[in-house]
Amino acid sequence: MRITSAISAMLAATVAAAIVPAASANAQVVKYQSNPGALILDGAEVKAGTDLFFLSGQLASPIDPKKSWGDIKSTEDLGDTKTQTISALTKIKALLESKGYKMSDLVKLTLFIAPDPKLGKLDFAGANEGFKQFFKTGENPETVARSAFQVAALAGPYFLIEIEGIAAKKK
């Protein structure tokens, strides 16, 4: 029991030492990332006095903006998982900006990923490739805490990803 407690204490101390707050000392949101090269955060702490914005799940828009939802007949009309991820995150970015937030204010994203019929499975790598267009970039060096779930299907038969999020910023 003593050895287990000592190992747990050493592990906790090592992890605590590795955590790098990604926000300034006076911020109300602190992002923790023990591996600065990682694409996602370990977690984010949102303190009292912080504005929160909860974003509903966003789906991709048709690749051809002239097409209506009734014109969507296959995944080709919406794109592969990477393309749909970029489309959904572009919508999230616009929603955030309309409310005075930035992509760097996102603290949590949840990805719901349906299997790509061409692959016969979900395309997590494609989702990550789309994600890289918005996080850990020159425009947005931040990233977010994130969860991803495989789902059987989404709101329509040709959607491959839906993304919901939470943004937080100091009042």
pLDDT tens digit sequence for 119-166: 999 999 999 999 999 999 999 999 999 999 999 999 989 999 999 999
The CATH code for residues 20-170 is: 3.30.1330.40
User: What's the half-sphere exposure (Cβ side, CA atoms, 13 Å) at 115?
Assistant: 6
Does the structure show a pLDDT above 80 at 22? no
45-56 confidence digits (pLDDT tens): 999 999 999 999
What pLDDT shows up at residue 3?
Answer: 44
pLDDT-wise least confident of 1-5, 16-20, 101-105, 146-150: 16-20
What are the boundaries of each domain within the chain? 20-170
Tell me the three state secondary structure of residue 35: coil
Query: pLDDT band for position 24 (50/70/90)?
Result: very low
- What are the strands of the beta sheet with 43-46, ordered from one edge? 20-21, 29-33, 43-46
pLDDT at 102 over 90: yes
Residue 27's pLDDT is: 57
The better pLDDT of the pair 68, 88 is held by 88
Beta bridge partners of 106: 167
Q: 28, 170 in Cβ contact below 8 A? A: yes
User: What are 51-83's pLDDT values in tens digits?
Assistant: 999 999 999 999 999 998 889 999 999 999 999
